[in-house]
Structures are given as C-alpha cells and as structure tokens.
C-alpha cells in the first residue's frame, strides 16, 4: 500500500515484495502468500540513499564508530556510504583490518575512497586498484592543521600520472581550497580578532575566492591529464557558478555539495558547534547551491559526516581550538 518512488518524478502506489533481502516484485496483487506484511499506506517507499561522503573513526575507534554511526545512517534512510580512509604509510597496512570491521560491524554498504598524501601511496595506486578493487582516491588541496596534510600541484600531477598506468576507470575526489589564500586570511583574522573571533569571523578565514580558484586550477589540471575528478563539498556561490561554466566544456569534472551547506549559514546558530571546513557562508550561497542542484550542476549530495562528541569538538574553546566537523547522517534525507 505504499507510494513507491522511482528515479525521476515517477511515483506508483503498489505493493513491494521482498525475498531473501532483495526486491522480488512490484505488484498490485494482494493474493500472494507472505510470512510478514508491513502496511505503509499513506507513506513513501524510497530507494536507499547513497551518501558518497562520510568519515568514520577519526575520534573514536573505527569499529565502534562504524557500528554506531551506520545505525544512525539507516535511521536517516541511508543504506550506502562512501567512506574516506587515511593511512600514515601504505593503505595495505590496514586494508584487511578495515575490511573485517566493515563486514562485521556495519549496518550499511560501504565503499572506500583512499586518501593519497605521500609518495608510498602514489607508487601503490595501481596495486590498490588491482588488489583492493579501489578506484576512488582523495586529495586535499587545503588540509586541516594537525589532522590532514595538504598537497601541492606537483603531487597532484604525480597522482594523475600514476592513474594513467591503471586499466580501470578511476576518479580523484578533491578538497578544493587554495591553501595559501586560506593561510593568509586566517592570519589576518587572528591578528585582528584574536580569541574574541566568532563563528562568523571563522567564515572569513576561508574566503570563497579560495574555493573558486582551487576549482579552476584542479579542473584545468584534470582536463590536461584527462583525469576524472569529483569536487567534494562545494560550499560557495562563487565556486558553484564558476563550475557551472567549467562543466559546459570540461567532461572530467563532477561536483558534490552537502546537505548541511544546503541548509546552514554562518548566522544559523551563534555557536562554535557549526565550525566546519570549508565554513558555512551566507544565505545567498545556500540559494545558489540549490539552484545548482536544480539545474544539475551538482551531480551528488553528501554529508561530509564527521562524528564527534561536544567534548571531542572542544565546543567551549575559542574558535581557533574548536575542531571542524559535525554528524549529519540522520538529518541528511529530511534536509
């Protein structure tokens, strides 16, 4: 008795038959024998949501985080997540352990993106594809001090060149911000505001021009090397409108924004709890991002979920000491 939602705008009132955990049929026939009937009259039945952008295990053990947070994902209608995994040296050092944790603790399907931030990993990219089956990688043009290392353009080209030696179609996810512009802006705001800086001031430490410039640069490098790139969590009107023009002629570029960037501004909450990188911006940025969703400039919507407690986030510290990130799995689909 549910309204079954199909891709596009099609909705059909019918019955969904499930056998051995898979959809067996869609039919209006009520005479089929079943061990269990769930009447969802007046409700919608949607495909499981794919959240392509999550982080697990950054502040809590990977096993505990995956077990707990994938339940949160299910409550929010998410049945598949793309999780970013980092490693100090080789990703092979933890591959078997991660596979075991995912297979035994996760309530949703998880596909991996491997962060590439050292030369060992660059040299092993082909092996990650051939032996682990991973075809999605991640680069940070601007990192997070103490947590994530950023890379320069030469390193990015090394990764692109390494992918040319791979037989399978791969994609490179990229955090797009100009690190030098961010460092300069952060220095200026800190010197001006010091420890009195607010969450609104934090937004000014990551100017939207930093995001736009990085989008232009990485798109150009990808075009020259014929490498597929996926620009994660685009947050600003300036960047999304630039990408709208770039995508007209550059088939290498795919674009993601997130449900928080589609719903939160720097004025939404007068609290450090919404500190994020890139930061939340203005009302006009939210509106332009929605426009880009509607005209298909945005290819997918994720969460950039980073689960932590208020204590782990250091919520009562000054803005400089607060850790960026937020849990967003359970609120993704409602937003």
pLDDT at 12 over 90: yes
- Whole-number Cα distances in Å, 20 to 17, 24, 35, 45, 330: 10, 9, 12, 18, 26
Q: How many CB atoms lie within 10 A of CB 227?
A: 20
Mean pLDDT of 97-121: 97
| Three-class SS state of 259 | coil
Per-residue pLDDT band at 31 (split at 50, 70, 90) = confident
As to burial, measured by CB atoms within 10 angstroms (0-12 exposed, 13-18 middle, 19+ buried), residue 21 is exposed
Per-residue pLDDT band for 195 (boundaries 50, 70, 90) equals very high
Residue 146 reports pLDDT greater than 90: no
Q: Sorting pLDDT into bands at 50, 70 and 90, what band is 30?
A: confident
Cis status, amide bond into 76, omega within 30 of 0: no
So what's the pLDDT on residue 245? Answer: 98
What's the rounded mean pLDDT across residues 161-167?
A: 95
- For 242-301, the pLDDT digits (tens) are 999 999 999 999 999 999 999 999 999 989 999 999 999 999 999 999 999 999 999 999
pLDDT at 173 over 90: yes
Question: For 114-123, how does the pLDDT look when each residue is reduced to its tens digit (9 = 90+)?
Answer: 999 999 999 9
Mean pLDDT score, 165-192: 97
Does residue 32 have a pLDDT over 90? no
Neighbours of 130 (CB within 10 A): 12
Q: What mean pLDDT is reported for the chain?
A: 95
Tens digit of pLDDT for each residue in 207-221?
999 999 999 999 999
CA distance 114 to 48: 24
Q: State yes or no: pLDDT of 317 exceeds 90.
A: no
- Predicted pLDDT of residue 7: 81
Contacts of 148 (CB under 8 A, 6+ apart): 86, 115, 117, 140
């Amino acid at each position: 008795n549910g309204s079954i939602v199909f891709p596009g705008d099609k909705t059909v009132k019918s019955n969904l038959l499930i056998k051995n955990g898979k959809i067996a049929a869609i039919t209006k026939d009520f005479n089929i024998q079943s061990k269990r009937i769930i009447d969802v009259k007046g409700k919608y039945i949607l495909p499981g949501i794919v959240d392509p952008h999550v982080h697990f295990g950054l502040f809590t053990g990977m096993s505990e985080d995956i077990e707990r947070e994938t339940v949160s994902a299910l409550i929010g209608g998410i049945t598949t997540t793309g999780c970013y995994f980092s490693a100090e040296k080789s990703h092979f050092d933890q591959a078997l352990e991660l596979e075991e944790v995912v297979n035994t603790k996760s309530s949703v399907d998880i596909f991996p993106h491997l962060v590439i931030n050292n030369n060992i990993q660059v040299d092993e990219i082909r092996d990650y594809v051939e032996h682990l089956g991973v075809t999605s990688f991640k680069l940070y043009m601007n990192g997070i001090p103490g947590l994530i290392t950023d890379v320069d353009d030469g390193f990015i080209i090394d990764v692109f060149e390494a992918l040319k030696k791979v037989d399978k179609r791969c994609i490179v996810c990229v955090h797009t911000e100009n690190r030098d512009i961010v460092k300069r802006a952060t220095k200026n705001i800190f010197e001006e505001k010091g420890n009195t800086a607010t969450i609104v001031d934090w937004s000014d430490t990551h100017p939207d021009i930093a995001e736009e410039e990085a989008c232009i640069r990485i798109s150009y490098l990808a075009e020259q090397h014929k490498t597929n790139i996926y620009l994660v969590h685009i947050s600003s009107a300036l960047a999304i409108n630039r990408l709208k023009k770039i995508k007209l002629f550059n088939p290498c570029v795919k674009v993601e924004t997130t449900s928080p960037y589609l719903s939160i501004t720097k004025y939404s909450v007068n609290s450090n709890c919404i500190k994020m990188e890139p930061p939340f911006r203005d009302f006009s940025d939210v509106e332009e991002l929605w426009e880009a969703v509607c005209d298909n400039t945005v290819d997918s919507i994720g969460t950039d979920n980073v689960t932590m407690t208020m204590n782990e986030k250091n919520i009562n510290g000054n803005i400089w000491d607060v850790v960026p990130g937020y849990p967003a799995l359970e609120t993704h689909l409602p937003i």
